[in-house]
Structure 1
Amino acid sequence: MPSPSLKYAYFPGCVAQGACRELYLSTAALTSALGIELVELKKASCCGSGTFKEESALLEDSVNARNIALAEELNLPLLTHCSTCQGVIGHVDERLKKSQQNNPDYIDQINGLLKQEGCSPYKGSTEVKHLLWALVGDYGLEALQAKVTRKLAGLKCAAFYGCYLLRAQTSIPFDDPFQPESMENVFRAIGATPIYYRGRTQCCGWPLSSYATDQAFQMAGNHIQDAIASGADCLVTPCPLCHLNLDSRQPEVEQVIGQKLGLPVLHLPQLVALALGVAPEKLGLNHHIVSTRSVLEKLGF
């Protein structure tokens, strides 16, 4: 099956350009290997991670209407590799498209604010799409499987979807918000074995971590313990904020639960890119807090 030619307006978000730089690197490596063209939205701003609306729903809507309008200027769908960004921007886009029909004065108000800043108006002419949806829905699992040069045979991968990707929008493409299979289907396409466990669609605890740290780490610890007990070699997440709580803070999680864990946590594009023959050093796998050595050794690196 020939590979499709795809092009997106790329919204990398904040965390991938800072604390999870390896996500930025691995997304670039993966899309290059697949022949997907990304036009990075250099003028885009933080989506707010769900906090802007605590101050003002208009603030969240206006900021993200501007982000979407940047993609509309290019006549391209907006692509993100962050579940939180997908949840926030996708929900704003969904809400504003409804407002175009039911409350056009609100759209006029938002576009008036954008005009004051010299920005293009929000038109509602594009869509917001996570990298996972692009792989499953646009590129396609058969085409992805045809690109595999190193099957990840024997690697047991536990998906950690988190909250925003599945439940922030009224409807999501290519999956069921309560019984998702899209990540597991990607695992199968690249030769890995999906592992199912209780916490795969639950919150990682990150939103609680600034004011209820022990509770947040207990949540993360429960999920990691469940994945280990189910036989996982690694967790794989489409969300850098989940990655921070599950990987970067895993040593602190261990202290709270009183148990050693040591489970590697991979970003989705890192895992897929490995199957496409991309060298581990190009994917930032040495940047993780929990060593990924056990995963690489199992794959023969």
Structure 2
Amino acid sequence: MKNKKSILAAAWLLVIPVLSIRAFTTLYPIAATIRNSFFDIKLLQGKNEFCGIKNYIFAFRDPKVLTSIEFTVIFVAASMILHIMMGVILALILNIKFKGQRFLRTIILIPWAMPAVVIGMAAKWGFNNDYGLINDLIRRFINPDFNYSWLIYKNSARFAVIVMDLWKDLPFFAILVLSGLQFISHDIYEAARVDGASGIQCFTKITLPLIAKNVATLTIPFTLWRLTSFDLVYSMTSGGPGEDTALIAYRITMEAFTNLNTGYAAALAVLLFIVMLIFTSLNMRLQTKMAD
């Protein structure tokens, strides 16, 4: 018994320094952000005054923030719907046995491995009207007189950001769905075909139900990544035209490091943190139900 206690004490002595560092680098910034959110901190003006919930009230009246929230909701919803639909289709294609299957599974992850800033810069050039790849292909194969500046109009700029986000992360999502498909036995499909089931029936009655848990588990973390997305918009559109492609994470960064309005940025960060806590709790509940 004494030996077990001494081993446990030694284990805690080894773990406590790591836990202390982790607590300092995680809990302290959170506490400091919550504290700053109740202060009017403007570094350029040397201002640091307690303002209560003024920052939170102004957040829901600020046109720039409301526009950011609007696009964030559109971005997250559209991106996740397309990720789920196209990710399942791509996973099914990758699950088909053919020559070069392993090679395709490897190279398809290249966009995901690339930094979002690099993709954003490439997309900024690719959607350019004069020398961009997109318009060049349209002029070659569809309409030789086509002229359109994608990133200077609200709807097309938002569309371009969503497309590039999908292009980057869809392969990774599909590979994770593919891992779920690998656990489905071919015997189930053979038995279904013997009973006269068509390919569509096999997909709807066997494949979809068996990968539903896998897809649902992936949806929430991918949603959280979309909520905190910053670098793609920063390098591709800089939030433009106007503020129409500014995601909420981008707006927080601009308020904190460009406008140096630290207190207001902290309030926005706390609101985003609350939203992420809600999604995290949903994820934990979902995984608990799936485990049962």
- Normalised by the length of structure 2, the TM-score is 0.23
Q: Which has the higher helix share?
A: 2
More strand by share: 1
TM-score using structure 1 length: 0.23
Say which structure, 1 or 2, has more relative contact order (CA 8 Å, 6+ apart): 2
